[in-house]
Structure 1
Amino acid sequence: MVLFLAGTGDARRLAVCLHREQIALLATVVTENAAGSLRKAGIPVRVGRLATQEMASLIRERGCSHVVDASHPFAEEASRNAIQAARICGIPYIRYERPVCPYKNHPGIRVVSSYEEAAEEAARRKGTILLTTGSKTLHIFAGKLLLDPEICLVVRLLPNRDNLEKCAELGIRQKNIIAMQGPFGKELNRALYRHYGITTMVTKESGQAGSVDEKVESALELGIDVIMISRPKLDYSTSFSTAEEVVAVLRKLRRSEQDAP
């Protein structure tokens, strides 16, 4: 059985693909919302965050022979826990990750290494800033940008109560909150950029299935500057960017185990 960290929509599609290949999986997700498509496909799911020792205990309890980490590119803690748990249990760790952004060398993109650096860069640019980096680090940007009269901060985040309460606590005005569940097509991105008069968009180098990040592409087409936070630097040792590669390596590992004396 494979312990599968199903952190994104394309990761869950990969889990379904592996299940169809008759590779036994135990998937882990953070929320009940993410578990639905996996359960519908007949894949057992464990919901909730796992620390290293909890993950190692789960691996031993379920007799998992491999870990496939398909968590979000910015779920740094989850990946570290998975790497360490696999090491503790002495089983192979395989990383599945979306391809990196193909636009990184574009003159309209400024790549930075941290949220703090992104906030500093946005503060220098002034204008109307759209933040698409989620709620966890919202305070970093609010502290830098909200008090500047030359900056209008607009945020786009998931439409849940915690996010809206956090915006209220930080002083972000309701009219500058875009509370929507993605994915967002290019036309919707363009419409939102135009409606709010966005001059700079802040995003993470999350990538997207198919390696095209539509919010970045839409911004560049409209001449909007992009500040992109680069991915955390982790040593994954074994990493793949396509479902076909993951399926192939798991098949190979399964054959070698079956052939072992």
Structure 2
Amino acid sequence: MLGGTGEARALAAALTERGVRVISSLAGRVANPRLPVGEVRIGGFGGADGLARYVTENDVVAVVDATHPFAQRIGVSAVNGASAAGVPLLRLERPGWQAGPGDDWHWVATLEEAATKITHLGERIFLTSGRQGLAAFAGCTGQWFLARCVDPPAPPLPPKIEILLDRGPYDVPGETAILREHRIDVLVTKDSGGTMTTAKLVAARQAGIPVIIVRRPARPAAETVREVAAAVAWVSAFPQV
């Protein structure tokens, strides 16, 4: 299983309880990741060919891609690698977010587009799009940024920035306090989906703050389920496991 998400950890736990041998692969981009139960490997495969070789050499009978919806590169490698190895692939991908009454959402295709759009929306920006995308805002000299990351980011960074190191899940009172304390007037995030970080969206709605949301990147077509239970059923259908 290609993991790193809450759904991946839940799936690993559910399958392990059923006696299924699960090997969870993590990219290794977070210093202290939350580890799933079962076997864990950390680090990349070296592209689709490396993944196919690993699958073949370790007698893997099925691959589940339960990575983050924005993990585009591994999504491509998963489809191509599983196909090359001749094993079935399932993508476990949480649904994206949907705007509701009172939401002021502005959709963009990239973080670079978000950096351009904020100039028309506000001056104090709460960035919750991950440390690897902060370079897109390095040229924004007219805004002040609060960037929340799990690990410290590397430059280039915006000239006026404060880093908040934290890890979800979050709640609405806590997110509301952050918006008030830092006088935030724009929230920037990615369409990660799920419930772990939705509190910021609720807090922004209640405060009347606009939200810039980056759309998910395209990934190759693959059989996809949205719920962990469906993934459990898919894996359990293989007699080899």
Q: What's the TM-score once normalised by structure 1's chain length?
A: 0.84
Return the letter of the residue paired with 1:129.
Answer: I
Could you tell me which amino acid in structure 1 is paired with residue 88 of structure 2?
A: P
User: What is the aligned partner in structure 1 of residue 43 from structure 2?
Assistant: 48
Letter matched to residue 230 of structure 1: R
Distance 2:209 2:51 in 1: 42
Supply the RMSD in Å over aligned alpha carbons. Answer: 2.1
From the superposition, tell whether residues 136 and 37 of structure 1 become closer, same or farther in structure 2 (CA, over 3 Å).
closer
Counterpart AA for 2:181: H
Provide the residue aligned with 1:89 in structure 2: 85
Is the 1:98–1:209 contact (alpha carbons within 8 Å) kept by the matching residues of 2? Answer: no
What residue identity is the alignment partner of 1:136?
Q
Counterpart of 2:73 (choices 52, 77, 80) is 77
Evaluate the alpha carbon distance shift between residue 182 and residue 202 of structure 1 in structure 2; reply closer, same or farther with a 3 A threshold: same
Aligned partner of 2:190 in structure 1 is 204
Partner Cα distance (1:209, 1:246) in 2: 18
Name the counterpart of 1:153. Answer: 145
Distance in structure 2 (CA, Å) of the matches to 1:89 and 1:105: 47
Quote the offset at 1:10 in angstroms: 2.8
Q: Partners in 1 of 2:231 and 2:71 — Cα distance?
A: 19
SS in 2 for 1:110: strand
Q: Which residue of 2 aligns with 1:225?
A: 210
Structure 1 pair 179–213 and aligned structure 2 pair: CA distance change class (3 A): same
Q: In the alignment, which residue of structure 2 is the partner of 1:116?
A: 112
Counterpart amino acid of residue 33 in structure 1:
N
CA contact (8 A) 1:108 1:224 kept: yes
Rg bigger for which structure?
1
Structure 1 contact 202–228 (Cα < 8 Å) conserved: yes
Alpha-carbon distance in 2 for matches of 1:45, 1:7: 11
Measured in 2, the distance between the counterparts of 1:182 and 1:196 equals 19
> Does the Cα contact within 8 Å between 2:126 and 2:187 map onto a contact in 1?
yes
Which of residues 55, 59, 63 is equivalent to 1:67?
63
Gaps in structure 2 of 5+ consecutive residues: none
Any conservation in 2 of the 1:66–1:91 contact (CA below 8 Å)? yes
**Residues matched between the structures, number:** 238
Report % sequence identity. Answer: 28
TM-score (ref. length: structure 2) = 0.90
Correspondence 1:25 to 2:18? no
Q: Residues 167-218 of structure 1, C-alpha deviation per residue, up to 9 Å, x if partnerless? A: xx535446x22222222221111110110011110000001248x7221122
* Distance in 1 between residues matched to 2:210 and 2:193, nearest whole Å: 17
Distance in 1 of aligned mates of 2:128 and 2:81? 31
Counterpart pick for 1:238 among 214, 220, 223:
223
Question: What residue ranges of structure 1 are gaps of 5+ in the alignment?
Answer: none
Instruction: State the SS of the aligned residue for 1:130.
Output: strand
**Higher helix proportion (structure 1 or 2):** 1
Offset, 1:68: 0.1
Deviation at 1:33, TM superposition (A): 2.8
**Counterpart amino acid of residue 145 in structure 2:** L
1:60 is displaced (CA, Å) by: 0.7
Task: Tell me, yes or no, if the aligned pair for 2:114 and 2:188 is still in contact at 8 Å.
Answer: yes
Which of 7, 11, 20 matches 1:10? 7
